[in-house]
Each structure stands twice: as C-alpha cells, then as structure tokens.
Amino acid sequence: MRDERVKRVLKELDGMGISQMLIVDPMSIYYLTGVYVAPFERFYGLYLRADGRHAFFLNRLFAVPEDVGIEKVWYSDTDAVMDLVAGYLDQDAVLGVDKDLKAGFLLPLVEQNAAAGFVNASLAVDLTRGVKDAEEQERMRVSSAINDAAMAQFRGLIREGVTEREVAAQMLKIYQKLGADGYSFEPLVAFGANVADPHHAPDDTVVRAGDAVLFDVGCIKDGYCSDMTRTFYFKGVSERQKEIYETVKRANERAISMVRPGVPLCELDRAAREVIEDAGYGLYFTHRLGHFIGLSEHEYGDVSASNSRKAEAGMIFSVEPGIYLEGDTGVRIEDLVLVTEDGCEVLNHASKEIEIIL
C-alpha cells in the first residue's frame, strides 16, 4: 500500500463526512497500492475505511504480489462477489462509491441495504491524484524529457512526399529507442488545413510547401504520461501564418507566467484567451486551455473558464492554446507545467520559436 496516498484520500473523505469508500478504477487502485490489474468484466475493488480495516477484492484469476500490505479477499467466478463485499461494509455508515462502479455491482449492495447510503466520492481520489508527490513529479520530468528528445526526431521525418500516416507509423519505434514504454495516446500528426482540426487523426494527406505541420504527441515512462504539441512549417511560412503562430505563442507564455499557488485556474484560461481575442482570433480558440495529467493522459481537473479551483503546488497540467481556421490552417503550442511553491516548472524544453523545416 502507498500509505501516505491512502492517508490523503481518507482525509478528503473525512472532509466529505464519509468514513468508507469502494474504489474500482484500476488506475486509482494502482496509484494507491502499486498493483495494476485489467479486470475486464470481473469485479475488482479496493475498500478503504477510516479505522484502517481496508480490504482488496480480487478474483482468483488475477495475479498480484504476495504481500501488498492489505488484506486480500479472494473470490471465484462462481461466488456471489457482492455478497462478499457487503459483509465487509459498515452497514450503519454511508458508503462512498467510485464513479466507475457499474450498476451491476452497485445495485446488489443497494438492494440489500449494505450501507446507510451511497454517494459518489470519486473526488476524494481525483483531488488527491491531482497533486503529485515528489516521486510522481520526477517520473513526469523523465517522461517529458523523452518527449522533448522525440520531438527533435519527429521533425526530421518531414520530407517531400511524406504522408501524415507514414510519419505517425515511425513514432513508436523512436519513443522506444529513447527509453519510453509506449504511447500515452495515439499521436496526432496534421499537415496544412488538417491542423485546423484539434483532434485530427493521421491520414494519407501529403505534406506540401507552405503547410503548417503539427505534432501532438506523448509517451509513457514508468507509468507516467507526457504530452506536448509543437507546430512547424514546411519549406516556408507566410506573414499571416507568422502572425497566428506568434499570437498562440504569446498566449501560451502569458498563461505560464501566471502559474503559481493560489491563482484560480480559470484566470489562466482567461489570460491566454484574451491574447488571442485581442489579436482578432477569439472565435477560433475552441477548447479549454488545459487538462491535468499523470498516470492517465487526461485526469480529473482542467484549466478552463468554469474551473475556479486554485492552483496548488504539485499540480501538473497542460497549457495549450490554439487557433483553428477551418479549411485553412491552424496552430497549437502545448507544454506541461508543474506548480511549485513559488511559481511553476515547465516540463517541456523543446523550442517554441517559429521554425521552418527545409
């Protein structure tokens, strides 16, 4: 068990007036125990309670280390597993449940009144995961360093006649040679007008002189994800493209300059958006400024106009403003930032100066 992380979750639960919780998200269970299982349709749960009488519910088909620092409760496919779970719950207390708990597992507990009530308590885990400890911060630095090195090689894949799909097909091997374990998400490679689609999937579009070339890429190293976007130009860049690029770059840098503990996340979004609006492109910045990241490429929490939560030391999130002119061109520049005690640390170091690939 990751005792310190468990204590933080229990503290969040206590603040919600909840003394017990059933967690089923495999990545959250990994975060708290160091054990990862892909359960598919079978029940898989970590039960936490304020008095420390925790339990780990496991199908006999799951392979886990012998000692995980918590009571393991085994069951077989023929067992009534939720009856087994119910026997461990405090029937007189409300049960906090994971937002991912399937109705097929939750309803049997409700029907037999296994707890005094049932509430979604996922925030207790989500908020804890959103503030990275020192070990997680270092792993995120390493993952992002690999991403920086990979970006330098990706730009070298652009040549006359190459397609987006051909470029994307070479990326995994580059990541693996640099020490990554795999992708944190399928790479986005876009040329020309395709850059105006924020989630464009690589296709057979051929790069042409004057095209914007966008890479939105990330890898996993030791369980932790990286994510970065850079936009280049192939063989030349117009004055209008330069204007759009420099506008997005200023928006990115302005938001980053404001990151420090106590700053509402919505103010970061507002600051970047104002730069783009002042340049006349406000209608073409069509998404939030950023998302949280860690064990998953998108974790709970975002940097958006609707999130007034204040930045805390240990948070890691993206800052990724963009301008997207449908059928024409686009730009996105994305960095990951770690909130420190007195400011922030930018985890990406790949250049953001406008660059032409010849």
90 Cα distance to chain centroid:
34
Average pLDDT, the chain: 98
Cβ atoms of 154 and 234 closer than 8 Å: no
Q: CA nearest 293: which of 139, 65, 178?
A: 139
pLDDT, tens digit (0-9, with 9 covering 90-100), for 108-117: 999 999 999 9
pLDDT at position 208: 98
109-161 pLDDT per residue, tens = 999 999 999 999 999 999 999 999 999 999 999 999 999 999 999 999 999 99
Residue type, 125: V
Q: What pLDDT was estimated at residue 220? A: 98
Q: Supply the pLDDT for residue 213.
A: 98
Beta strands 20-23 and 299-303: pairing type?
A: unpaired
Q: What is the pLDDT of residue 142?
A: 98
pLDDT at 182: 98
Read off the pLDDT band of 296 (50, 70, 90).
very high
pLDDT grade, residue 272 (50/70/90)?
A: very high
pLDDT at 154: 98
8 A C-beta contact, residue 244 and residue 283: no
Q: Average pLDDT for residues 286-308, to the nearest whole number?
A: 98
pLDDT band at 1 (very low <50, low <70, confident <90, very high): very high
Q: Edge-to-edge, what's the strand order for the sheet holding 72-75? A: 72-75, 55-59, 45-49, 20-23, 94-97, 117-120
DSSP codes joined into one string, 75-141: E-TTS-HHHHHHTTS-TTSEEEE-TT--HHHHHHHHHTT-SSEEEE-HHHHHHHHTB--HHHHHHHH
Going by their DSSP bridges, the two strands 356-357 and 228-234 should be labelled as parallel
Is residue 93 a contact partner of residue 115, using CB atoms and an 8 Å limit?
A: yes
pLDDT the model gives residue 102 = 98
Read off the pLDDT of residues 30-72 as tens digits, 9 standing for 90 and up.
999 999 999 999 999 999 999 999 999 999 999 999 999 999 9
- Predicted local distance difference test score (pLDDT) of residue 230: 98
Partners of 46 in the β-ladder: 23, 56
Closest to 215 in 3D by CA, of 352, 358, 345, 327: 352
CB 252 within 8 Å of CB 333: yes
pTM: predicted TM-score of the whole model, two decimal places? 0.97
Please give the Cα distance from 159 to 84 (Å, whole number). Answer: 61
Q: Percent of the chain beyond pLDDT 70?
A: 100
- pLDDT recorded at residue 258: 98
Question: Whole-angstrom Cα distance, residue 131 to residue 118?
Answer: 26
Q: What is the pLDDT of residues 89-108, one digit of tens each?
A: 999 999 999 999 999 999 99
Residue 114: what pLDDT? 98
Are the beta carbons of 33 and 56 closer than 8 angstroms? yes
